[in-house]
Structure 1
Amino acid sequence: MGRGKIEIKRIENQTNRQVTYSKRRNGIIKKAQELTVLCDAKVSLIMLSSNDKLHEYTSPTTTTKDIYDQYQKNKLIDLWSSHFERMLEDLKKQKDINHRLNREIRQRMGHDLNGLSLEELRRLEHKVSASVDVIRARKLHVIKTSTDTFKKKIKNLEINHSNLMLDLRAKCEDPQYGLVDNGGDVYESEIALANGASSLYAFRHLNLHGGGFGSQDLRLA
């Protein structure tokens, strides 16, 4: 049985549409290759899918540009001149925009003000003031962020110092370390060192040999 005729209209199902495009695209490219070999023809084939994906085929002995040039020659038209004119027009617009922006930058820096009317000067003054406000707000934000970060560091240092002091006091009161508060210089020197004294007697070396305590005073610079 032969296949029934397919109605030529847009395939609504996107998946089926993409599958059909892929199959028929390959078929067209195959026909173009056969035409190139059998007839020594110059073929340039360009296809764009519904999602703008490009597929092309060009005969091995030619390029797409060669085909375009031959087309223009046969049709007595110039495809490139109109395109070049549009490029020149776009370039002129970009130059005008660049010139206007450069002039505005110079004016905001206090230059190239000759020829401006009173209203134009007022608008320029308003723009500059608005820019200063934005810059000032950003500066204050940076200062506040830096200050908050510094405060957090100070707070962490204070917490660490407090924890060290608590740990030190616990060790001073523990007989295992021989630093109990017995009215001697060792305990007082230990506490003074922890509190940051710059010059003091501290940490007498404890000699536990023979069960007795010998001491040697150490002076910290």
Structure 2
Amino acid sequence: MGRGKIEIKRIENSSNRQVTYSKRRNGLIKKAKEISVLCDAQVSVIIFANSGKIHEFCSPSTTLVDMLDQYHKLSGKRLWDAKHEHLENEISGVKKENDLMQIELRHLKGEDISTLTYKDLMVLEEALENGVSALKAKQMEFVRMMRKHNEMVEEENQNLQFKLKQLHLETMDDNVMGTSTHPHHQGVYDHHHGAAAATAGDYEAQMHHPFAFRVQPMQPNLQERF
């Protein structure tokens, strides 16, 4: 039995419709490739899915733009509407404006000014002076910001040094207090203090005693008798 004839109408089932679209799209692109190779023909295929996704094929020896230009020339029909023509004009205007800006930039650099008139040179000089003034103002603003930043850093540094000094003094005070209040240290301190006091008292007593100091002669038989 031969294949049954399929009625050409929209497939209502979304899954079946997507499967049919994928199969037939691939078939069209395959046929386009085959006729391009077998017949040395220039072929271009553009397919848009209902989701907006584009699928295309163009013969390797040409581009899609060349194919459209050739179609315009041979058929006399243009695929560009008024919106696209307006966009093309806008692009041309942007290109011209860019060219003028490039010329002005070269003039500001001092290039290609031999053809300028006196009036043009005056305008250029005024623009350069305004630019220099704006540049100096920006530099002064930057200097003020850097100076303020340095002052803040210096002030913070001084505060840190003061806090560090205070912490050092507090640490020394704590060490002194800990040494004097420790029982062992206190006993050592009292012992030495008492020994020093006793030595001082003996020295004072000897100074007041009439026979505190005696001269010991070299010969024992020569000792004085009192």
TM-score by length of 2: 0.44
Richer in helix (by share):
2
Larger radius of gyration between Structure 1 and Structure 2: 2
**What TM-score comes out, normalization by structure 1 length?**
0.45
